[in-house]
Amino acid sequence: MSFAGNLKTVSFGDVLQLLSTGRKTGALVLSRPQRGKKIFFRNGDIIAALSDPPTDEERLGQLLLRRGQLNAADLERALKRQKSTNRKLGHVLVDLGILSRDAVTGALRMQVEEVVYGVFGWPDGEFRFVDGESPDASQILVDLNALNAMMEGARRFDEYAEIAHSLPSEETVLRMSPSPYMKEPEIILSAEDVDILSAIDGSRTLGEVVASGSYGEFAASRSLFKLLSSHLVEPCPEVAGRTRRLAEEEEIYPLIYKLYVHALRAVQKVLVDQLGDCGQRAFFRLPEMCGDDPAHVTACLVDAQDANGPTTFRERIGRISSPVRLHRVLSTAGHLLGEGLRLVEDMLGPRWRAAVVNEMNKELSLLMAQKRDLADRYDVQTEFSAALKEN
């Protein structure tokens, strides 16, 4: 049996369940930009998994270091032998007597689990199942129940999403609390917690602390949540306000860009669908109708055809004075969208304008919901709604 699809429409958990209950043997190949994974099955169970490129959490040597089963000197010795013999690292570790085969197999099982669990965080990605494909003969195989992996992966993803939502931004500088206030009389710290705690020095940001940890992003985020909730760690008060503003600024302008580009594409589509080249030419003349726009923000929003669009937008708005930047960008983008809707009404009639506005509201409701608090705080929703209602 061979099948293919996209994780946007079929969840990874459903794919695992199908392969497990169907007792399939073969390889599940998953890919998204600059990322790929291959998971091997035998009679519905997972026996091996590869990631390209592997993250630190998925590298066998790093995993063994984090678990305290291997020291840096032995890992370096094993890697040199691996390079000269071109054998798998697990085999080299056994050959050198550094680890037993059982210890390597246990570590490989954890490595396979990390590769599999990582897919649960993918918002999309192509997949295809190749019936009968087997891993390389030199691969040490494991035995992992796919349904158990499905449940644990989903649990991890839900927990990580909740933790990530509760943590401050990655740019927040953290410090040890000078006067910790703890609700519990005793707090038990794991090795992961101690590792993260030792990285907090009052100058590193949350993102830098997570990256410095030796247990991986999931464990680091979980430890930070625990330390912050226990009031052992806190954001540095002298930089927290500035950090929050900078972090929000990094989020708010991409949101504005995405919001108005999506809306303007709806305007462009109806003009081109109904009027062809005439509608296309009229659409691209919209920036001329917006008057004073020295940063050429409107031209960037109208001509957002390539992957560099967000970068170009950020560069152009950077020319606007900081105290008035947000107001100027929102008013300029709103004026542009209002002119676009007015153009639709002038060329096609009020019925088409109403149809376009209705389509925008449907398509963009999810986008706004993802950043609702941020959008409300900076009046993005208000300004956008005003542009839609403008006569």
pLDDT of residue 48: 92
Whether residue 158 lies inside any domain: the answer is no
Q: Are residue 224 and residue 334 in the same domain, yes or no?
A: no
Look up the pTM and report it: 0.49
Residue 206, domain member (yes or no)? yes
Mean pLDDT along residues 54-78: 75
User: Are 269 and 140 in a shared domain?
Assistant: no
Residue 391 corresponds to which amino acid? N
Mean pLDDT of 280-306: 81
Lowest mean pLDDT, pick from 57-61, 136-140, 173-177: 57-61
List the domain range (segments joined by +) for residue 298: 241-389
Nearest partner of 338 among 281, 285, 280, 391, judged by Cα: 391
Residue 1 CB neighbours (<10 A): 11
Within-domain flag for 161? no
Residues 249 and 371 in one domain: yes
Are both 228 and 256 inside the same structural domain? no
Tens digit of pLDDT for each residue in 145-166? 999 999 988 888 888 777 877 7
Contacts of 118 (CB under 8 A, 6+ apart): 37, 51, 55, 57, 58
| Residue among 239, 266, 107 at smallest CA distance from 171 | 239
Q: Which of 81-95, 175-189, 340-354 has the lowest mean pLDDT?
A: 175-189
Q: Are residues 136 and 13 in the same domain?
A: yes
Which of 80-84, 292-296, 370-374 holds the top average pLDDT?
80-84
- Split into its structural domains, the chain has a count of 3
Q: Is the pLDDT of residue 216 over 70?
A: no
Of residues 122, 375, 121, 388, the one with CA closest to residue 254: 375
Q: How confident is the model at residue 348 (pLDDT cuts 50, 70, 90)?
A: very high
**120 lies in the same domain as 178:** no
pLDDT at 19 over 70: yes
- The whole-angstrom separation of Cα 146 and Cα 356 is 46
Same domain, 120 and 218: no
Which of the residue ranges 79-88, 116-125, 139-148, 368-377 would you say has the lowest mean pLDDT? 368-377
Quote the mean pLDDT of the chain: 81
Position 266 scores a pLDDT of: 87
Do 219 and 262 belong to one domain? no
**Cβ atoms 42, 76 nearer than 8 A:** no
Q: Percentage of residues in the chain with pLDDT exceeding 70?
A: 84
In a domain, 199, yes or no: yes
Look at residue 390 in the predicted model and tell me its pLDDT. 60
State which amino acid sits at residue 355.
A
Higher pLDDT, 227 or 304: 227
| pLDDT value of residue 240 | 47
